[in-house]
A and B are shown apart, each in its own frame.
Chain A
Amino acid sequence: MKTCLVVDDSGVTRKIARRILEELGFNIIEAEDGEKALEVCRQALPDVILLDWNMPVMDGYEFLGNLRRMPGGDAPKVVFCTTENGIDHISRALHAGANEYIMKPFDKDIVAAKFQEVGLIQATLPEVV
Chain B
Amino acid sequence: MNPSDYEYLRKLLKDHSGLDLSADKQYLIESRLLPLARKAGLADIGDLVQKMKNGSSSLIAQVVEAMTTNETFFFRDKVPFDHFREKIMPEMLQARASRKSLRIWCAAGSTGQEPYSLAICLKEMGAALGGWRVEIVATDLSNEVLEKSRAGIYSQFEVQRGLPIQMLVKYFKQTGQLWQLNADIRAMVQHRQLNLLHDFSQLGRFDVIFCRNVLIYFDQDTKTNIFGRLARAIEPDGFLVLGAAETVVGLTEAFKPIADRRGLYRPEGGRAAPARPAFSLAAVPKLAMAGS
A113 to B162, CA, bound (A): 6
Proximity bits, A108-129, B CB within 8 Å = 1, else 0: 0110011011000001011111
**In the complex, A3 Cα to B165 Cα: how many Å?**
22
Q: Which residues of A contact B177 (CB under 8 A)?
A: 85
* Contact B165–A128 (Cβ < 8 Å): no
CB distance from A24 to the nearest CB of B (A): 15
Q: Contact at B245–A129, with CB atoms within 8 Å? A: yes
* Least Cβ–Cβ distance between A84 and chain B, in angstroms: 12
| Given A94-B169, A116-B78: A125 and B161 interface contact (C-beta under 8 Å) | no
- Could you tell me the distance in whole angstroms from the C-beta of B164 to the nearest C-beta in chain A? 5
A102 and B77 contact, CB distance less than 8 A: no
Q: Which of A85, A94, A126, A127 contacts B156 (CB 8 A)?
A: A85
**Interface contact B246-A90, CB-CB below 8 Å:** no
**CB-CB < 8 A to B162: which residues of A?**
113
A97–B99 alpha-carbon span in the complex (Å): 43
Contacts of B57 in A (CB 8 A): none
Give CA–CA (A90, B162) in the complex, Å. Answer: 17
How far apart are the CA atoms of A85 and B244 in the complex, in Å?
Answer: 33
Contact A94/B165 with A103-B160, A110-B160, A125-B262 known, Cβ cut-off 8 Å: yes
Do B244 and A126 touch across chains, with their CB atoms under 8 A apart?
yes
| A54-75 interface bits toward B, Cβ cutoff 8 Å, 1 = contact, 0 = none | 0000000000000000000000
CB-contact partner of B165 in A106, A109, A117, A123, under 8 A:
A117
- Per the 8 Å Cβ criterion, residues 172-207 of B in contact with A are 174, 177
Q: Indicate whether A117 sits within 8 Å of B169 (C-beta atoms), given known contacts A126-B244, A128-B247, A129-B216.
A: no
B residues 146-171 in Cβ contact with A at 8 Å? 156-157, 160-162, 164-166, 168-169
Are A128 and B246 interface neighbours, CB within 8 A?
yes
* Docked CA distance A116–B164 (Å): 10
A110, B161: Cβ atoms under 8 Å? Answer: yes
Partner of B164, one of A86, A103, A107, A117: A117
A114 to B163 alpha-carbon distance, docked (Å): 8
Residue pair A103, B245 in contact (C-beta under 8 Å): no
In the complex, whether A87 has a CB less than 8 A from a CB of chain B is yes
Q: Which chain A residues border B34 with CB–CB below 8 Å?
A: none
Asked if B251 is at the interface (CB within 8 A of a chain A CB), the reply is: no
Q: Contact: A125 with B79, CB < 8 Å?
A: yes
Given contact pairs A86-B174, A110-B160, A129-B216, A100 touches B245 in the complex (Cβ within 8 A): no
